[in-house]
Amino acid sequence: MAIVQTKPKTRIQAENSERILDAALEIFSENGFRGSTIDQIAAAAGMSKPNLLYYFKNKEEIHQTLIDRLLKIWLAPLEKIDENGDPMTEITGYIRRKIEMSKDLPRESRLFANEMLHGAPRTLAKLEGDLKELVDRKAEVINRWIQDGKISECDPWHLIFSIWATTQHYADFDVQVRAVLGPERGGESRFQDAAEFLETFYLRGLKP
C-alpha cells in the first residue's frame, strides 16, 4: 500500500519521494498530465512502477503534490515587493527575479502554464483565494505609488499580468524564442537580453 503520511519517516522515503517528484516534474512539464505515463516517471526516477506507487497513491497524487509546492514558489517573488522600497527598484527587481525563474526553473513554469491552459482544474480554488488576495494587496501598493506620484498612472492588475506574461514567456515559449532568435542570439544570453529589454521598457513606461 502507498505511503500516506505527509512527512516521510525514513531516509529512503525522503530520498525516493524527492527523486519521484523531480522525475515527475521533468515528465509532466514536457508532456502534460495525460501525456505522461507512470512508467515514464518511474523510469526517469530509476525505479519500477509498483515501487513508485508505493510512495504515491496514484498519478494524480504526484501531480497534485507538485502543483501544491509550485504555488508557493511561484508567489514568492511577488510577495517580496516592498511598499516602502523605491517603486522603480522594486518593480525592476521583480522583473529580474521573474526572468531568473524562467531561466532556472523552466519546468516549473511550464507545469504551471499547462495547468492554466487547461482551466486550472486543480488550482482554481487557490487562484481565487491566496493568489487573488496577494495580487489585490500588491495592486493597492502600486496604486499608492501612483497616488504619491512616484510612478505614472496605470492599471496595477494589468501591469502585474503583463510582467507575468512577458517574463514567463521565456520559459513557456522557449522553443519559439530560440527559433526566432536563431543560433547566434538564441544562446544563454537571451535571458540577459530579455531582462535588459524588459527593465528599461518598464522603467520608461512607469516613469512619472
Partner DNA sequence: TAAAAAATTGACCATTTGGAAAAATATGAA
Partner DNA sequence: TTCATATTTTTCCAAATGGTCAATTTTTTA
**CB contact set of 204 (below 8 Å; sequence gap of 6+):** none
Q: Please classify residue 30 by burial: count the beta carbons closer than 10 Å to its beta carbon, then call 0-12 exposed, 13-18 middle and 19+ buried.
A: middle
For residues 68, 13, 32 and 60, what is the CA-based torsion angle, rounded to 10 degrees?
Answer: -70
**Cβ atoms of residues 110 and 169 within 8 Å:** no
Alpha helices in 105-188 (DSSP H): 106-117, 124-126, 132-147, 156-172, 174-185
CA-nearest of 131, 166, 139 to 155 is 139
Interface with DNA includes 102 (CB under 7 A)? no
Instruction: Compare residues 61 and 174 and give the one whose CB is closer to DNA.
Output: 61
Which position among 30, 32, 54, 193 is part of the footprint of DNA (CB under 7 A)? 54
Instruction: Compare residues 8 and 93 and give the one whose CB is closer to DNA.
Output: 8
Instruction: List residues binding a copy of itself (CB under 8 A).
Output: 30-35, 110, 113-114, 116-120, 124, 127-128, 131-132, 135-136, 152, 154-155, 157-159, 161-162, 164-166, 168-170, 172-173, 175-177, 179-182, 185, 193-194, 196-198, 200-202, 204-205
Which position among 11, 121, 147, 183 is part of the footprint of DNA (CB under 7 A)? 11
Return d(Cα 65, Cα 41) in angstroms, integer: 14
Instruction: Compare residues 31 and 192 and give the one whose CB is closer to DNA.
Output: 31
Question: Using CB distances below 5 to 8 A depending on partner kind, what does residue 164 bind out of a copy of itself, DNA, none?
Answer: a copy of itself
Question: Using CB distances below 5 to 8 A depending on partner kind, what does residue 158 bind out of DNA, a copy of itself, none?
Answer: a copy of itself
Instruction: Compare residues 18 and 60 and give the one whose CB is closer to a copy of itself.
Output: 60
Q: How many CB atoms lie within 10 A of CB 170?
A: 23
Interface with DNA includes 64 (CB under 7 A)? no
Return d(Cα 164, Cα 115) in angstroms, integer: 15
Which position among 26, 32, 38, 157 is part of the footprint of DNA (CB under 7 A)? 38
Chain residues in the site for DNA (CB under 7 A): 2-3, 9-13, 16, 36-39, 47-51, 53-54, 57-60
